Amino acid sequence: MSSGMKFNGLLRFWPPPVQIFQIRNIYIGNSEGGPKPKVFDKEKLKKYKDELIGKDTGKNYNYVDKVAIITGGASGIGYEFAKTLADKKLLGVVIADINVEAGETAVRTLGNNVMFVKTNVQNNSELKSCFRRVMKKYHKLDLLINNAGIYNERSVDKVLNTNVRALMYGTFYGFMYMGKHRRRHGGIIINVSSVAGIRQYAGFPLYTGASHFVVGFSRSMGTPFFYDLTGVKVFTICPGFTDTHHLKDINVLRGFDDLKSYTISTISSKMHQSPSVFGPALITVIENGRNGCTWVVENGKPAYEVSPKESTVI
């Protein structure tokens, strides 16, 4: 299949559900002819934003009454996110994962405020169903961590469906169920990329390209327009080389001699870290993150923010 055919296949899922950004009842000029599109009463927007969001941000973030969804939360980095939030006594920590055994074990281990929902994020109906189940149980959502991802240089479709499409739609659902334009209270979306999203790696160009998408997409959704409209912040976390299942099965693009040995050598030369570093990193990002920011967690050190060379917002 040609690259053009693959690209056209991806376009089957486009355009995104842009109706989730339709703001209700705060248009200027509600007349018999209907609301005027894209003309907003800024004073009403500001008042609405202040009423719904308040001061529950930054270091004042109140974890106790929050509900969170973590995709890919049954193991590895996602499990550390779930464990950390469960320890913070959230009202609900929802693990959305395809691994039933690991998910059920996580619930037994982490406590009564943890819920498991079997979810194959590559299946959009299952992903949407997960959000609906959470809303039915808790009637709210405050924090979404799109963490599910795979490394497979030999399956374009699997990487695009998991690392790109599922994360993209997860983000849209996050806005839908948290945005003040939908009569919600705002919230936080954290999209998990990789250091491959801010660098270049010859050994895994497919994974790198998908990771770059996550960074660019998250930065774009983390611009003032979307925050002013919805009260939802978007952050990105880029893990460095971490001891998870991703590093246990190295595969590379076919047809390139010595690429696998080169990739193994590259990975071996990097300092690996334990997933446990992501618990403190998550708290750092939640309490210190600016809308649209990107954070790196690598070499077992505390999370640090990186800024793009070009930061023009269009």
Pairing between strand 67-71 and 304-306? unpaired
Instruction: From 221, 148, 141, select the one nearest 176 (Cα to Cα).
Output: 141
Pairing between strand 114-118 and 143-146? unpaired
207 is catalytic: yes
CA dist., res. 40 & res. 23, Å (int): 9
Which amino acid, residue 131? F
Expressed in angstroms, the distance from the first to the final Cα of the chain is: 35
CA dist., res. 66 & res. 57, Å (int): 12
Tell the residue number behind the tokens 């924090």, with chain if given: 143
Catalytic residue among 207, 227, 262, 304: 207
Give the residue numbers annotated as catalytic, written as ranges: 207
